[in-house]
Amino acid sequence: MDPDTILSHVAFTTSGSLVDCVDKKVIIVLRDGKKLIGVLRSYDQFANLILHEAIERVFVNNRYADIPQGLLLVRGENVVLMGEIDLDKEDEVPPSICMPVRPEVIPQLVQARKVDREAKAAIEKRKAEILRTQHGFCEEGQEGDSY
């Protein structure tokens, strides 16, 4: 087998695998749950990404808003998932699944997301407290070498 044939079947598992996504519209999900959409312009060996004409898509229930972010540098260690967006299907999302909001409603949507996140955090805190006090679990980060 010649070297070109072998190289064509090698799957890159490093940041080199991003080369096919350069100059394409991508969606990126970050560790904190944010969803960024933009054109991938460049990256480095640490998978730090440069997004051009980036937006943050904010979801609350079945509504969303796109908040312009401009040019963004995304630190690679914060990326959970990245994928290319199919431009033909991007505008075909049925309104019954998710509806965009008008720009003047964005502040209310962002506030609703904040309230929603705070409510979820309070629920998670309560769950952790019950697990710790009633079921013998330890606090996050307190495991150490004792187990």
Q: What are the sequence ranges of the domains in the chain?
A: 3-100
Question: Bigger pLDDT: 116 or 6?
Answer: 116
Which residues contact residue 54 at a Cβ distance below 8 angstroms, ignoring those fewer than 6 apart? 36, 37, 38, 68, 69, 70, 71, 72
Give the tokens for residue 105: 């409603």
pLDDT of residue 18: 83
Secondary structure of the chain in the HEC alphabet? CCHHHHHHCCCCCCHHHHHHHCCCEEEEEECCCCEEEEEEEEECCCCCEEEEEEEEEEEECCEEEEEEEEEEEECHHHEEEEEECCHHHHCCCCCCCCEECCHHHHHHHHHHHHHHHHHHHHHHHHHHHHHHHHHCCCCCCCCCCCC
User: In the sheet where 35-43 sits, what is the strand order?
Assistant: 79-84, 25-30, 35-43, 49-60, 63-74, 99-100
Which amino acid belongs to residue 20?
D
Across 6-10, 31-35, 141-145, the highest mean pLDDT is recorded for: 31-35
pLDDT of residue 96: 61
pLDDT in tens, 29-73: 999 989 999 999 999 988 899 999 999 998 887 888 888 999 999
Lowest-confidence pick of 1-5, 6-10, 60-64, 68-72? 6-10
Distance (Å, whole) CA 80 – CA 1? 36
Segment 104-126 shows an average pLDDT of: 89
CATH fold for the domain made of 3-100: SH3 type barrels. (2.30.30)
pLDDT of residue 6: 66
Q: Is the pTM of this model over 0.85?
A: no
